[in-house]
Structure 1
């Protein structure tokens, strides 16, 4: 996992040849995978999101893999852009999309408040958020944020990251002024001096660093929750085989991303309209080795969930652990990712 250090992240993407061999082996095993779910009618259409924080979604959309995979069943594919977890989860809750990408803790918050979803795949383990200040900001510590304006998109991992960070020094939401702005608008507000800090999200955070000289004030990879692909429960029940087909394509993309970092960076840069160095920085902060949601993700979310109660973000009496157990469903991912690149394999490859 390359969130632990910049050097480790660089090694992960730097050993392209070794990882290509790992990716090829994974792809071979992937092709032999046969789902075991009961037969159901294929969906006439599947609507899903693509997001700049989900590299696989950009690769799949650019390559046309999903349309090709679903063509034999005459299933149409519709793509909708999500600018953040809050948007993806809103689309899922309203039925505007069937499958959408979000941060793990944001999905827990949505599920606790009635969003009928299950987390069926892990598209990455990222360090995609941190607290960001401007290049010339006098703010040097978390304590300096007391009474200051912080831009953060409510209902997203960066927003929840901010609250958890403040709690580490005994501050809460009432001790700062949180300005609810969508992620790209938060970057703009920081650059213009309209806010004192910003809860960043890649690729906008990487762009702020590379292009604006912004500084990461507070980082904590353990406070960055997993990137989940969520599906509506009614869609799962009605079209399990279509969902399996979608996840097969996602896992094909995951393996391809590991094996083709340079091409992935180019696709990310073109889709999100950032420079290649920005895209490379974003990708260096992602670990694509653990696609199956399960006990590891549940434990991380249960450690993070108290913030939802402490900040009164869920209804009184909510039991976050039960919500998390109901959210995570690894059955589909296990059927399509039998040859996932494990953290141990990744570390071994990087060391060669």
Structure 2
């Protein structure tokens, strides 16, 4: 075991660790179940790192985050020309994990059609790429994980019974942290050591009062919540002792038994015995509405509280009338015929990445204050990177968001009716190709035959093309591994790739910690502007919202550029990245938002034309046609 896997004190945890030791050497398929935040991926990594496959890749794919239209291609790969946009052969997750371990996280979220295909892969140990009829043998150990009750899903006909038994060869159930109180102290000390080292704050300890507070908390978010609490405490602690005031926890209410394992069951049993009418519907409505309010109306956070997907949670909100259904047209304020008519309720759904203007706006709740008098509710959805955000924009899950210059090009080529709203100046030093300090790769020419990890469709794709051109290499001379953005890298991550395309703030964090070195960056090679985008249909109904949005973005940009240290401190609490690394990342870019102009349109068109010439876009696109004329 590496340092992420520590010896725990609770008997339940010790029994689990013994089971892991027995299962790790085998190739048995393991099904890990447990509440959100109990550490299912950590256990999967432990099984891999202690197995004979430990020198091969460990890859984790979140099945709940797979786009329905591309899920089969992501898992099993596709051939060139298999569908619109398939400009080259793509290796799926199974092939990328060859020889190693593949974690299918949130496997209960797979669609019925994909469940059938996954069952065949597990039975035959081979995959067939989309657009091909040739079966490709695979040597991959599969570990599945889920927080939902698959037996109940089978009963509801949402999950295949035969697939369940194929996955459940070796079951592992992770108990919630509230049922393992003896582990709280050990885990808290472990996280304290991790974050004091990461943030350069050695010598910090817990006060007795703080440790007692940790022991008394019920930990509804389990180990993930404890991890975040300790990280935040280290960031805000100004001396060498963490006090209870540094812990962002609600004080336990005296006499409250809601966190006891059987209290909720006893309450429900009592209500059933009383014959309370419509108990199921009332309980469901209470759960949904309370989670929605506690999360500050953040759908992603509320869904995580309840252990369900965001789509399921949003459907329940719609049924309760707390939000409008997605297919209902948004009414414009100007349609109110009487000056005394109530202002129609509207939504502005914003997709954001925690770093940047929108991340600061989200933390400040400034936008909510501006839109409240207009009867507009602001809903936030967090995304790890631009490609995932634009997929949500294309499917009508959000109305507005920001990303780099390359993802919108690929989106337009797939007939996504997005529109450019505004842009921020380029920051070429904020993107780079990183390699381990011990790597033999010293020049770009050394990349031939190497595995390069990149987020699919991301802004760093264009930088990678430029770097390969300089070295006289083509895309076919390297092997691309498509993976979501991530840092820090685990030992098994470092085996899955030889180099990583990274961007801020993860890039600055990696440079501050010193485990990776920058081989080349984007200076003199890319412009990487930041763009704000919306959908054509949303603009048509809600163009009156964009002047307010633009003013808010400009105000926030001035705030970030004039008080970077303060902005970095604010973001540090949201992102759990060291404030010094965030300040470095913020200093590389001007955050002033501007309306689109001819020069920026021409630069985007140059990139689009080159991508089309290389076969990376299935059709030529005209940037000018996708620009909203801001007035």
Q: Tell me the CA shift for residue 191 of structure 1.
A: 6.3
The match for 2:440 is 138
Q: Which residue of 2 aligns with 1:270?
A: 573
Q: Paired residue for 1:25? A: none
Counterpart mapping for 1:188-227 below 5 A: 188=490, 192-221=494-523, 222-227=525-530
Q: Identify the residue that residue 426 of structure 2 maps to in structure 1.
A: 125
Say whether 1:328 aligns with 2:627. yes
How does the TM-score come out when normalised to structure 2? Answer: 0.44
Partner of 1:148: 450
Residue 401 (structure 2) aligned to one of 77, 100, 109 = 100
Which one has more relative contact order, counting CA pairs under 8 Å at least 6 apart? 1
Equivalent-residue separation in structure 1 for 2:626 and 2:477 (angstroms): 32
Offset of residue 65 of structure 1: 0.9
Deviation digits for residues 252-282 of structure 1 (CA, Å, limit 9, x no counterpart): 1112112221111112222211101210111
Structure 1 residues 248, 290: closer, same or farther in 2, change over 3 A? closer
- Mapped to 2, the partners of 1:43 and 1:161 lie a distance apart of 43
CA 56–213 in structure 1, closer or farther in 2 if over 3 Å, else same: same
Report the equivalent of 1:253.
Answer: 556
Provide the secondary structure at the position in 1 that maps to 2:354: coil
Extract unaligned runs of 5+ from structure 2: 1-331, 336-343
**For the aligned residues, what is the CA RMSD?**
2.2
1:50 counterpart (337, 340, 352): 352
CA 124–43 in structure 1, closer or farther in 2 if over 3 Å, else same? farther
2:309 corresponding residue in structure 1: none
2:478 matches 1:176: yes
Per the alignment, residue 288 of structure 1 pairs with: 591
Answer yes or no: is the 8 Å Cα contact 2:608–2:620 preserved in 1.
no
* CA distance in 1 between partners of 2:600 and 2:334 (Å): 29
Once residues 555 and 457 of structure 2 are traced to their aligned partners in structure 1, the CA distance between those partners, rounded to angstroms, is: 30
Deviation (angstroms), 1:283: 0.9
Please report how far the alpha carbon of residue 100 of structure 1 lies from its aligned counterpart in structure 2 after TM superposition. 1.1
Equivalent pairs counted in the alignment come to 290
Shift of 1:189: 7.1
The alignment partner of 1:223 has SS state of coil
Shift of 1:109: 1.8
SS in 2 for 1:215: strand
TM-aligned CA deviation for residue 313 of structure 1: 2.0
Q: What is aligned with 2:385?
A: 84
Q: Deviations over 1:285-329 (max 9, x none)?
A: 1123452221221232233224412442221xx334x2x112233
Task: Give the whole-Å Cα distance in 1 for the aligned partners of 2:393 and 2:489.
Answer: 26
Counterpart CA distance in 1 for 2:354 and 2:363 is: 12
Structure 1 segments (4+ residues) deviating >6 Å: none
Q: Deviation per CA, 1:69-106, whole angstroms, max 9, x where unpaired?
A: 11011111100011111011101001110001111122
Q: Tell me the distance in 1 between the aligned counterparts of 2:411 and 2:546.
A: 21
Per the alignment, residue 416 of structure 2 pairs with 115
TM-score between both structures, scaled by the size of structure 1? 0.77
User: Residue 184 of structure 1: CA displacement?
Assistant: 0.9
Q: Secondary structure at the match of 1:308?
A: helix
Tell me which of 56, 65, 69 is aligned to 2:370: 69
Match of 1:31 in 2: none
Using the TM superposition, give the Cα deviation of residue 237 of structure 1 relative to its aligned residue in structure 2, in angstroms: 0.6
Segments of 5+ residues of structure 1 without an aligned counterpart are: 1-37, 336-352
SS at match of 2:572: helix
Contact 1:152 1:186 in 2 (8 A): no
Structure having the higher helix fraction is 1
- Do 2:400 and 2:532's aligned partners in 1 also have CA atoms closer than 8 Å? yes
Q: CA deviation at 1:52?
A: 3.1
Q: Which moved more, 1:300-309 or 1:278-287?
A: 300-309
